[in-house]
Chain A
Amino acid sequence: MTLVLRMIAQRLALGLLTLFVVSLIIFGATELLPGDFAEAVLGQAATPETVAAIRRELGLDQPFYIRYVDWLWGAVQFDFGSSLAQRGRPVADMILGRLGNTLFLALYAAAMAVPLALMLGILAALWRNSLFDRVTNSSALSAISFPEFFVAYILIYILAQGGWFPSMARMPASADLGEKLYRSFLPALTLTLVVTAHMMRMTRAAIINLLSSPYIEMARLKGMRPSRVIVHHALPNAIAPIVNVVAINLAYLITGVVVVEVVFVYPGLGQLMVDSVSRRDIPVVQAVALIFAAAYVLLNLTADVISTLSNPRLMYRK
């Protein structure tokens, strides 16, 4: 167990390093983007004098590395500065509410998608090549080959225009949990449809991959029921790839849902990120990128810890 703890500590340290490099890359990339905040905010109305004035006012005329070091110095003290666009408004203040919304939607979708995907995946492996397998497979594949926004439009056409669910996930401030779940059902369903197939297929493939192993053969020869073989013998050894794909999809639910946010007018982090990138509002871009990166690092770490625990051979390697 100490080995695992050491691994966690080591990975967390590495995670910090990752965050640092991510912040450097994002800062550099935003810097490489043509144009800066002053030009972006003035848009068609920009003139050289006004652009210069805004740069002076916000210190954008400072060289790249000075602005980065300034930002970094603040960030290590958990001061992420204030937004360029919302002059003086702390970034943390802009992000907090949206972070909550993003996590809520991700959890909501994951709560539907993960059990569904695992169950379908196990059943499909159990009844492989049956009609059930084919139908689940084809429907799941069809569902993910439709772009997200298109799935969303179809759901809106059927479920929102039919009057069952609202087409917008706009929350009144007073909404209780039940109403929140109701109002954000369509975006959550869209995301469920989008991520289920990937996890389901990986579960199925990982299990089937093990079925020809000698120990499974043995279990089967003992006369064990196929369902028991799969759940008790194949599944534990298939955990590593399954957990990995689940982690990737959970990270996606947190970091990659800007399109769904746009279609359902859901105030999440993705929209903030894209808006801020197009405005070159670097402090906001940096903070959101760090949140996304941290979510990814933590989910991955969890996946790796579970994989390691599930395969003792990994624990004693070198």
Chain B
Amino acid sequence: MKNPILPRGITRRGVLKGATALGAAGLILPASYRKAAAEPRRGGVMRIAMGHGNTSDNLDPATWDNAYVQVMASTIHNYLTEIDTDGTLAPEIAESWEASADAATWTFRIREGVTFHSGRTVTPEDVVASINHHRGEDSGSAAKPIVDPITDIQIDGQYVIFTLEAGNADFPFIMSDYHLPIMPSTDGRIDPRSADGCGGYVMQSFEPGVEAHMTRNPDYWKPNRAHVDEVIMLPIIDAAARQNALITGEVDVIDRVDLNTVHLLERSPNIRVISVPGTQHYTFVMDSRVEPFTDNNVRLALKYAVNRQQLVDTVLSGYGVVGNDHPIGRSNRYFADELEQRELDPERARYHLQQAGLDSLDVSLSASDAAFGGAVDAAVLFSETAAQAGININVVREPSDGYWSNVWMVKPFTAVYWGGRPTEDWMFSTAYATGAAWNDGFWDHERFNQLLSEARSELDEDRRREMYVDMQSIVRDEGSTVIPMFANYVMAVSDTIATPDDIGANWTMDGFRAPERWWMA
């Protein structure tokens, strides 16, 4: 198997050494829990309360957009590939894969003998139908942009062959995207209303916005996964209600711990706070087509006018690390450690304003807690430090409702949340490449675009790293996005729950896999 992903990236443990003291303190691994982690135990009921989920959720992968359905999906479904806890790619329904020399054709071997909950065997046809669900002219799928580069899918025995419009060395990573579960098909189409899958748990009942009840799949093919008998998932949107449910023992696991009170929650007996630094980052993005942001000096002035450590300490209560104005996290493979960390420097900010021919600057920053928890606070803090540099930021609190359609990529200066992507290419192509659907800064940089497409099909590791470092540096110094902080995923569990030593950092809840990877102590 030729797998270009082999050289391991920086592991999460490595990250911790490099992180700030506060960030490191975030990951709490007491000795007792290590011992408990030794041997997964079978059985029990795991009750999970998520800070997302609503009455509009459904079973159609094309619509999944929040952590509740995403975790639910990873519980009942399997994917072609899985991102392991150390950030590398592991086989799942695809047993192995290999690329052509230009990385434009990918051949996946489909695992044999895996069955759906309904008893049917997983076939290559199911794989093709599952991916095709998101493709095509009439697709309303949120995943359409990521499967668009696929020009053709062929079946050859137990193999599925994807042809891409251009080389992409990271294509197998894309196949782990939460929108792309393998579902049973009839006549080349999957039934998007069906809960049938090949994951570790079988859906028993699902009432959107109320509860999902799943039981262990007795025929699950993975030997050491899916430990508990039953999984109950509840959406509890209110942060205080979620914490109370954990404290009073109504649930065993919660995600999105309220950072304002996490220091108090940590003091509660029998409760363990789990904090994982990942690729999730918060940004303030400027529309580079609109005055005054057309001038890179103005953008730099704003980048020098933010106190990053203060944001991490206040908005994230220390559960995060400072960002360096590029979207690549420390757990990514090609994170550019060599770039100097940008700090608050009102003098530099003033200097850049002068370079732009301005004495002072008045801008409006649109924020809402829909952008990220504490976005409004972060904007207020930003405006306070920016004032020192003669920049007047007028914070506008936008309604949470409709934020993504009416504010983001509409207003010129907005707060944004990015879950991050497991690979550099994915992140950059999604939000920084010219013309990309979610290039929210409408940023256009010729050399960056060129490097991006070259690096995508480059299979030589050193060359690749060099290119990605260059790109990070370009985004940092010329990009249209202020990236002040990377936020940890902060969850809390009661002492009824045991977790492995390593917890996935690619998404919340152990890469959405907590029900499959965790067990009852």
Contacts and interface: CB of A to CB of B under 8 A. Distances in A.
Binding between chains A and B: yes
Interface of A: 33-35, 38-47, 49-51, 53-54, 56-57, 83, 85-88, 94, 149, 153, 156, 160-161, 163, 166-168, 170, 262-265, 267, 271-272, 275-279, 281, 284
A90 to B, nearest CB: 13
B404 A272 contact: no
B447 to A, nearest CB: 26
B404 A170 contact: no
Instruction: Determine chain B's interface SS by DSSP, over half rule.
Output: loop
Interface in B225-262: 234, 236-238, 240-241, 244-245, 247-248, 250
B60 interface: yes
Given A47-B437, A49-B144, A170-B234, A262 B404 contact: no
Interface in B301-334: none
Given A160-B248, A168-B250, 10 more contacts: A42-B140, A47-B144, A50-B142, A56-B138, A57-B138, A156-B244, A262-B238, A262-B241, A275-B55, A278-B402
B209 A42 contact: no
A70 B142 CA distance: 28
B408 interface: yes
Interface in B14-63: 54-58, 60, 63
Contacts of B222: none
A56 B237 CA distance: 32
Interface residues of B, number: 45
A278 B209 contact: no
Among A35, A44, A86, A166, residue most surrounded by chain B Cβ atoms (within 10 Å) = A44
Nearest to B143: A45
Contacts of A149: 238, 240
B55 A53 contact: no
Interface of B: 54-58, 60, 63, 65, 137-145, 192-193, 207-211, 234, 236-238, 240-241, 244-245, 247-248, 250, 400-402, 404-406, 408, 417, 437-438
Contact of B234 (A43, A265, A272, A278): A265
Instruction: Determine chain A's interface SS by DSSP, over half rule.
Output: helix
B140 A50 contact: yes
Nearest to B146: A45
B415 to A, nearest CB: 12
A38 B234 CA distance: 25
Nearest to A165: B248
A186 B417 CA distance: 35
28 contacts: A33-B401, A39-B405, A41-B65, A42-B140, A43-B142, A44-B65, A45-B142, A45-B143, A46-B142, A46-B404, A47-B145, A50-B144, A53-B140, A54-B140, A57-B140, A85-B55, A85-B58, A86-B208, A156-B240, A160-B244, A161-B247, A168-B244, A168-B250, A262-B237, A265-B234, A267-B210, A275-B56, A278-B402
Contacts of A53: 137-140
Contacts of B400: 278
A42 B244 contact: no
Nearest to B235: A265
B250 A272 contact: no
Given A85-B58, A265-B245, A44 B404 contact: yes
B248 A167 contact: yes
A277 B401 contact: yes
Nearest to B400: A278
Nearest to B142: A45
Given A42-B142, A263-B238, A279 B65 contact: no
B46 to A, nearest CB: 16
A222 B248 CA distance: 60
Nearest to A43: B404
